[in-house]
Amino acid sequence: MAFQSVAFHLSQKPPTGDDIRRWFRKFAGNVGILGGFSNLLILDFDDAATYLSWSSKHEALLSRTPIARSPNGFHVYLRTRDPTASSSLYAGMRRIGHVKALGGYVVGSPSVLKDGSSYSWLKDHSPFDVDPSPIEGLASLSLRAVSPFKYHYDRMLNRGFFEPP
């Protein structure tokens, strides 16, 4: 039975760009994009204003990686050297979204929600146009997976998982 699954066949012969375009020509459903595979990391910004403020400091990186507009924010697709767990996303003291990697997914283009809002790739920033850019980690982007308070509290008590500063 396992050898007849779609997942098994796709793992043995991944689809080409032409295959994927053909699948979506008359597609009326929604799409989920899994993080984690080949160290794919997706920054899921909850609102556009936060993304725009952050993006102004990272224009070189963002000019060459997939980016999608979500109904309220943005998704930025990157690759890390090491596997990364899904978590919250912090800039300074504020939680600004989510890190979607191992164990996480985002809704992707061409998905449409019940209220009619949709997901779409920015011009020349789809995975067909550019590959996810490699990054060293969230810290290289002035971002964190845990709040600064929790990070310092756990470090002070020498407990739990914490990332080096």
At 11-62, the pLDDT tens digits run 678 888 898 888 878 777 788 898 988 999 999 999 999 999 999 999 999 9
Does 109 fall in a domain? Answer: yes
Domain residues for the domain of 93 are: 31-156
Asked if the model's pLDDT at residue 70 lies above 80, the reply is yes
Residue type, 14: P
Does 6 fall in a domain? Answer: no
Q: For residues 127-132, give the mean pLDDT.
A: 94
Does 120 fall in a domain? Answer: yes
Tokens of 158: 């020498």
Assign 3-class secondary structure to 94-159: EEEEEEECECCEEEECCCECCCCCECEECCCCCCCCCCCEEECCHHHHCCECCCHHHHHHHHHCCC
Q: What is the pLDDT of residues 78-126, one digit of tens each?
A: 999 999 889 999 998 889 999 999 888 999 988 999 999 999 999 999 9
Number of domains within the chain = 1
Please tell me the predicted confidence (pLDDT) of residue 1: 45
Does 74 fall in a domain? Answer: yes
Q: What is the CATH number of the domain that holds 44?
A: 3.30.2250.10
Which one has a higher pLDDT value, 127 or 157? 127
What are the phi and psi torsion angles at 94 (to 5°)?
-100, 135
Please tell me the predicted confidence (pLDDT) of residue 80: 95
Does 94 fall in a domain? Answer: yes
Does 26 fall in a domain? Answer: no
Does 5 fall in a domain? Answer: no
Which one has a higher pLDDT value, 149 or 74? 74
Does 118 fall in a domain? Answer: yes
